[in-house]
Amino acid sequence: MMIAASVGDTIVSFLLLAGVSLSLLAGIGLQRFPDVFARMHAATKPATLGLVLILVAAALRLSDGGDVVKLLVIAAAQFITAPLGAHMVGRAAHRAGDQMAPDTTVDELARDSEQRSGH
């Protein structure tokens, strides 16, 4: 019984620490990446998995099934909204002609937009 409890604690601690680290990485990435688009990468991916890991840790510690279902709804909302938000910010930035990092190699969106407006 004692061993089972400590194994459970270890798993929950690991999930919490991993989730928190990923959220921290997302924050540092926002600060360090060179332009809006790269920052959106940092804001969507680690933040989503980080939140999911924290939610799994919380679900393992909760005994009430209703609360676990609430956590599932939170996870679903994050999976639906994070990519949408990043998409809208990225699209707006690109249309507004936001500066891309100087080492950007190709931009086929700018090329195709020019072609369309040229018609």
Q: Which of 17, 61, 80, 99 binds other proteins (CB under 8 A)?
A: 80
Please tell me whether residue 115 binds other proteins under the rule CB under 8 A. yes
Helices of type H across 36-64? 36-61
3-state SS class at 59? helix
- Here the tokens at position 21 are 């680290």
Cα end-to-end span (Å), the chain: 74
Q: Which of 4, 13, 79, 97 binds other proteins (CB under 8 A)?
A: 79
Q: Which of 4, 63, 108, 117 binds other proteins (CB under 8 A)?
A: 108
Q: Which of 7, 11, 17, 69 binds other proteins (CB under 8 A)?
A: 69
Query: How far is 95 from 84, CA to CA, in rounded Å?
Result: 16
Q: Which is nearer to other proteins, 60 or 94 (CB)?
A: 94
Site string for other proteins, 23-52 (x = CB under 8 A): --x--xx--xxxx-xx-xxx-xxx-xx---
Q: Where does residue 97 fall: left (phi above 0), alpha (psi -120 to 50 degrees), or beta otherwise?
A: left
